[in-house]
Amino acid sequence: MTFAQALLEALESLNGNKMRSGLTVLGIVIGVAAVIAMLAVGNGAQASITGSISSIGTNLLFVFRGSPEGQGGPGGSGRSGNNIKPLTLSDANAIADPFAAPSVEKVAATLESNALLTFAGENTTASISGVSPEYFEVRNIQLAEGEFINAEHLLGRMSVVVLGPEAAITLFGHADGVVGETIRIEGQPFRVIGVLVARGGGAFGSEDNSSYIPFTTAQSRLIRRGARDQVDVIYVQAISAEAVPQAQEEISNIIRQRHRTPVGLDDFTVFTQADFLSIFESITGVLTIFLGGIAGISLLVGGIGIMNIMLVSVTERTREIGLRKALGARKKDILLQFLTESSLLSLLGGIIGIMFGWLIAYIVGQVAIASGTNFVPIVGSDAIILSTSFSAIIGLFFGIYPASRAANLEPVEALRYE
């Protein structure tokens, strides 16, 4: 028996049991569609997160208090939390010294917390940052309207605020035409002087649900810390993306000298954009594999369905198999016939599953766009190849036992079967 003959007989057999064949194919369709859709969601999430981080700038560094291993806790660098010195404005000024750190372009120290914002009965809890004028340049933040916080606001400890678009929409119902309005932050009045361009999610959550006030105002009225000039984060802009490693080394040496910490026992952490990208890519990579694995279980279930149907088919066609063997059909001909049927079921399910998987990913993308989320599922060729290859392998694997069982039937016993 040639492969073409086996294929024609397989089509005739499947066509004779349309309902049963359709239900069997459905298991593979669901499995392949689930794998493609889940991998597309995972790839889209990874692209969205890394894109948001990259949009901040490739030459940005972040300095935090605490060691990289557990932020200076008992399981981290081994130093007691009481021995960890806080970051200060003096540290930021030392980093900004062009002689001490020639690879550094700009420095911006911040105080960061959450606060309740209210306006005319509306309220929202948003992140609040005490910043200097350099902050907006370092973070590459763009204004939709109004102005940034400037030196005059800083010196006068003025009650002014720049809002993220999400915070503005929550309070006012719209993000435009709100400059000049007065809101309350933790009960204190602040005049809105600007609204930012929407940026979406960032390394530390949504940057749109945010508010920015002068550093001196935050320091004296809203965000108080233990030390007088203590800061939460120091943002550093290197002179170029290529200079980031050198800037990281210069920053570490400066703070190490100021805090008098030996190498390996740092009480601070310097992160780069590459570090954040690596962390988030690892997280989303694991998430994508997890989602694909969960969806792959559907393929396994579909394969078991193929085996069950093929076993039923073997039982129903026992007399036919005996007659074929009595007329001269070889063992390998029977084996080829049933393997072709199981592979054909798997192939049809894989093709239809690809189309459904792409459709699900498209619908998810449209829902995300409609809800204002910067997220687009990505259907990669790797997902298509992986799912279809896996479905084909499953069709062959789960078809081997029924095919072998049919091929090993004795012609006399098969002909006697009722």
Minimum mean pLDDT among 23-37, 87-101, 284-298: which range? 284-298
Is the pLDDT at 374 greater than 70, yes or no? Answer: no
Minimum mean pLDDT among 3-12, 99-108, 116-125, 254-263: which range? 3-12
Sign of CA dihedral 256, 262, 266, 272: positive
Distance, first Cα to last Cα, the chain? 27
* For the chain, percent of residues with pLDDT exceeding 70: 79
Residues with Cβ within 8 Å of 170's Cβ and at least 6 positions away in sequence, in order, are 122, 124, 209
Angle value at C-alpha 316, between 23 and 19, nearest 5 degrees: 20
Q: Are 321 and 313 in contact (CB under 8 A)?
A: no
The pLDDT tens digits of the residues spanning 161-174 come to 999 998 999 999 88
Residue 215: what pLDDT?
Answer: 92
Range 116-138 average pLDDT: 89
Name the nearest CA neighbour of 336 among 262, 402, 388.
402
Q: Are 380 and 43 in contact (CB under 8 A)?
A: yes
- Three-state DSSP state, 17: coil
Residues with Cβ within 8 Å of 97's Cβ and at least 6 positions away in sequence, in order, are none
Is the pLDDT at 78 greater than 50, yes or no? Answer: no
The pLDDT tens digits of the residues spanning 109-124 come to 999 989 999 998 888 8
Residue 37: what pLDDT?
Answer: 83
What is the model's pTM?
0.60
Residue appearing with tokens 């499953």: 394
Residue 74: what pLDDT?
Answer: 33
Residue 271: what pLDDT?
Answer: 83
Residue 60: what pLDDT?
Answer: 85
Q: Work out the mean pLDDT of the chain and round it to a whole number.
A: 79
Beta strands 210-214 and 122-131 are parallel
Helical ranges in 198-272 per DSSP H? 215-217, 244-259
